[in-house]
Amino acid sequence: MRLLATLLLAIPLVAQDAPKPADASAQASPTQTAPAAAPASDTPSPDNWLQGSIELGYRWIPNIDGSLDTYRSVVDLGQGPKMLDADFTLLNPSKILFDRASVRATSWGGDPYNTLRVDIEKQDWYRLTADYRNIAYFNFLPSYADPTLATGSLLDQNAFDTRIRTLDIQLDLLPNKWITPYLGYGRNTQFGSGISVFTTDQNDYPVASIFSDQTSNYRGGVRIELGRFHFNVEQGGTTYKEDQGASDNVTNPGNFTGAFFGEQLPLSALDELYRVRGDSVYTKVLAAGNPCSWLNITGEYVYSRPSTDIDYTETSAGNFFLNRILQFYSLGQDMLTGDAAMPHSFGNITVEIRPAKRVRIVEHWDTDRYSNATSALLAENFLVAGMPLTDQQLSSDRLVLHENDEEVDVYYDLTSHLTLRGGYRFTWGDTEVRGPILAEEALEPGTLRRHVGIAGFNYRMTQKFRVTASAEGSPSDQTFFRTSLQQYEKARIRASYDILTNLRLAGDFSLLNNSNPDPSIKLDFKSRVESASLFWTPNAAKWANLLADYSRSAISSSILYLVPQTLSPTPSLYTENAHALTSLLGVKWFSVGGTMFISSGSRPTRYYQPVARFSLPLNKHIQWNTEWRWYSMKEAFYSFENFQSNQLTTSLRFTR
């Protein structure tokens, strides 16, 4: 991919050799044709055929103090030469093959997230877009999943060091015409290594694992535009493959290191492999139209049928205990074949009616339906006291959902500046999921009935001042889960005021209260966020500018659960009071600021990123940038995860 990126970035260099006669003819022709047919963008001069910039630099990281694993999990920036940013637009003078191409790339050169986007267009013929990103996903936080933490051993038993790469390409043919066919291809891959856990009945063992999966998406469709009616038909499909594995070839005592019925339970060898293959086809039909001046209608129907086939093998050696026969065994071998298929339909219709000049009524209905029917055959072999023991289990599972929404909103323009909104939404559905392992019923039913009242307004005093507010509430008593939105109120107000042409003040406030008074649940959830922002750019920010955002959030949650060993109901409490601040003050070539996050409550955390920048134009085309940044994270309860790091990045930005 790096090679591809290099080649794409080199496109402008190749195009630089465009023959000059073509250039000359392109310049000559406009004077002979109608003026309107000769926009500047269509006739690049020798000076403007290529515009853009590239920033090349080097980052020094003199120190990473504290936990390197946490640093990599949170920041993960590395030292070395970087291509920090590139953004080029090429106007092809010859107009052969393409009129315009643009390439944007960020953070190449070993950084944990690299992006590349390419847009190529030939007006009226085609438009090609490609988007690629390569993201490092490293996560090793002992506080997350480390059962041996109490012994002082820092090992996250659910850790990853993987890369996620996504690519999406779309080719639109005859863009802007009444019929536009298009083709697309997308790919998502994740691969790498990590730590996962192999579990037996009485012990569990952290083991090395590898991850590899890939999803490819193929799609093609056509957009049809017929005056007042528009249609979009798309047919697509995906293929999926996953090859995960875990292995161990040294004696592993596991998380339970004591004796069980007088015997240790170590793992001496493990070989585990998942081989999953899947595919899906989907059909999407979208129609939209405004058959008359007072009516808009849109509707969509999507059907997909993802399915997977699974082969799983596992061979383990050591000393293990099998609960169901109450005996030890030294060798286990499992093989599973299974399949799952989940037909999924989604449809919706929205109608907007404007019966009077000041009134709009929007009626929306949608339905989402799927069911997953699965089966699996598991064959097990155990070596118990030197004798083979075999077993087979055929299992099946099912998950069904039928969910529907119907909403009607009425908008009334009380004045030319004030619009009022009132509405009602009814959400209803039912589901069947796998029942608890100890319950008699194989399937557990759930129902959803939610009546929601909606209100809001939008006020625009002038173009400089706007306020938008909305609120909704529901007294529901039938929801799927204990933590679902049940009896809730939600509200939000957002306002902005351009005090001067170069001074903007904005703020927002949001609130969510959710409760379930059932004596066995007693859910009480409250969340409140207030934010304010100031943006000041005097004299078009030629000499100074100021950006400041502040946000305060408060979350509190309480819900009952039963502690199994004491059989006493206890509230699960979670609180968080957080302050987040972003500021940047720029004066001429210098800017200072940064971000800060401070929270107290269940997981007190301080995360700072102060920054200072120096940007000096060396000449018309070259700018020298230098940035110092400090990363610091402190967690009061998990001080072994604290880290801090200084970083200095210097770069040259070349602009054409």
Partner 1 sequence: MHNNHSNVRRVAAGIVVVSGLTISAAFAESPGYAGSETCKTCHEEIYNNLQKTPHFAIETGARPAWKQKSCESCHGPGAKHAESASADDIRNPGKLSAAEVDHTCLTCHLNQNTKGGRIASGHAKDQVGCTTCHSIHGANGAKLVEHAKAAINKTCSTCHLSQWASFNRPYKHRLPEGAMSCVDCHNPHASFADASMQKAFGNEPGCLQCHSDKRGPFVFEHAPVRLEGCTACHEPHGSANPRMLVRHEVRLVCLECHSNLPNPGLQNAKLGGVPPAFHNLLLPQFQNCTACHIKVHGSYVDRTLLR
Q: How far is the CB of 387 from partner 1 (least distance, A)?
A: 25
Asked if residue 546 lies in contact with residue 539, where contact means CB atoms within 8 angstroms, the answer is: no
Residue with smaller CB distance to partner 1, 17 or 558: 558
Q: How far is the CB of 275 from partner 1 (least distance, A)?
A: 10
The Cα 148–Cα 154 span in angstroms is 7
Q: How far is the CB of 385 from partner 1 (least distance, A)?
A: 25
Q: Is residue 386 classed exposed, middle or buried when 0-12, 13-18 and 19+ CB atoms within 10 A define those classes? A: exposed
Q: What angle do CA 312, 317, 318 make, to 5 degrees?
A: 140
Residue with smaller CB distance to partner 1, 20 or 375: 375
The Cα 639–Cα 586 span in angstroms is 35
Residue with smaller CB distance to partner 1, 17 or 633: 633
Return the CA Rg of the chain: 31
Residue with smaller CB distance to partner 1, 344 or 387: 344
Residue with smaller CB distance to partner 1, 579 or 621: 579
3-state secondary structure 470-498: EEEEEECCECCCCCCCCEEEEEEEEEEEE
Q: How far is the CB of 441 from partner 1 (least distance, A)?
A: 10
Residue with smaller CB distance to partner 1, 17 or 500: 500
Contacts 24+ apart (CB under 8 A), 33-42: 41/91, 41/100, 42/91, 42/99, 42/123
Q: How far is the CB of 516 from partner 1 (least distance, A)?
A: 9
Asked if residue 602 lies in contact with residue 574, where contact means CB atoms within 8 angstroms, the answer is: yes
The Cα 557–Cα 514 span in angstroms is 9
What is the CB neighbour count within 10 angstroms for residue 14?
10
Q: How far is the CB of 102 from partner 1 (least distance, A)?
A: 8
Residue with smaller CB distance to partner 1, 20 or 199: 199
Residue with smaller CB distance to partner 1, 337 or 626: 337
Q: What is the dihedral of CA 429, 433, 435, 437, to 10 degrees?
A: -150
Q: How far is the CB of 204 from partner 1 (least distance, A)?
A: 5
The Cα 577–Cα 573 span in angstroms is 13
Q: How far is the CB of 128 from partner 1 (least distance, A)?
A: 13
Residue with smaller CB distance to partner 1, 98 or 211: 211
What is the CB neighbour count within 10 angstroms for residue 407?
17
- Nearest CA-CA partner of 237 in 251, 225, 220, 224: 220
Q: How far is the CB of 15 from partner 1 (least distance, A)?
A: 19
Return the exposure string of 444-464: e unless at least 16 CB atoms fall within 10 Å of the residue's CB, then b: eebebebebebebbbbeeeee
Q: How far is the CB of 94 from partner 1 (least distance, A)?
A: 18
Q: What angle do CA 194, 199, 202 make, to 5 degrees?
A: 145
Asked if residue 8 lies in contact with residue 15, where contact means CB atoms within 8 angstroms, the answer is: no
Residue with smaller CB distance to partner 1, 66 or 221: 221
